[in-house]
Amino acid sequence: MTKVIEGQFLGRGKKFAVVVARFNSFLTERLLEGVYDGFARHEVNLDDVVVVRVPGAFEIPLACQKLAQAKKYDAVLAIGAVIRGDTPHFDFVASEVSKGCAHISLETGVPVVFGVLTTDTIEQAEIRSGAKGSNKGFEAAMTALEMADLMRKMEQ
Ligand code: INI
């Protein structure tokens, strides 16, 4: 019989850190609400969630690294919104934050979930942050729950 290991959305007893960029806060605060919603619906005790705010998406990886290295959290979530229309350096910011998060995850062994919107327009970002129902923050919370549970199972 094949042994299949996969994570479940079991939040009880797990600890999470959420790094939120203040840039485009009208979007990132909605994403954070989605994270809380996902956690609360899966029995995460919100006292077990720490939120760290940083100026912009470019600063997210450093804060995630510090949190992941502390080995106190089952997963770290990166929450931001990078919109192409806003900046000629969209590609630099988007690429640094995505590479940085992936690198920290592999370096520390702690899941770092990429809840950063990278869109061409504000409208696209609004749709992905709950304006029409779907919220990337909620999805990030679900990924964090699954990966946190998977890591525990794989360590057994
Ligand atoms: N930061 C974002 O989070 N989103 C953006 O769209 C953005 N734009 O458009 O420039 C942005 N820039 C700031 C950047 O993340 C840093 O905070 C800044 O460059 C200082 O290091």
Q: Residue 80: what pLDDT? A: 98
| Residue to mutate (ligand 1; options 54, 87, 96; most atoms within 8 A of CB) | 87
Least confident span in 32-36, 52-56, 133-137, 142-146: 133-137
C-alpha 91/C-alpha 39 separation (Å) is 31
* Residue 7 reports pLDDT greater than 70: yes
**pLDDT at res. 31:** 98
Q: pLDDT for 30-47, tens place per residue?
A: 999 999 999 999 999 999
132 alpha carbon to ligand 1 midpoint, in Å? Answer: 25
Name the band, by pLDDT with cuts 50, 70 and 90, for residue 131.
Answer: confident
Reply yes or no on whether the pLDDT at 91 is more than 80. Answer: yes
Terminal C-alpha separation, the chain: 19
pLDDT of 147? 98
21-55 in b/e form (b: 16+ CB < 10 A) is: bebbeebbebbbebbbebbeebebeeebbeeeebe
- The mean of the pLDDT values for the chain is 96
DSSP class of residue 7? -
Ligand 1: which residue has its CA nearest to atom 12?
56
Residue 87 has pLDDT above 70, yes or no: no
pTM of the model: 0.96
Amino acid at 115: G
Report the nearest atom of ligand 1 relative to the CA of 86. Answer: 9
Q: How far apart are alpha carbons 126 and 129 in whole angstroms?
A: 5
CA distance linking residue 154 with residue 108, whole number of Å = 15
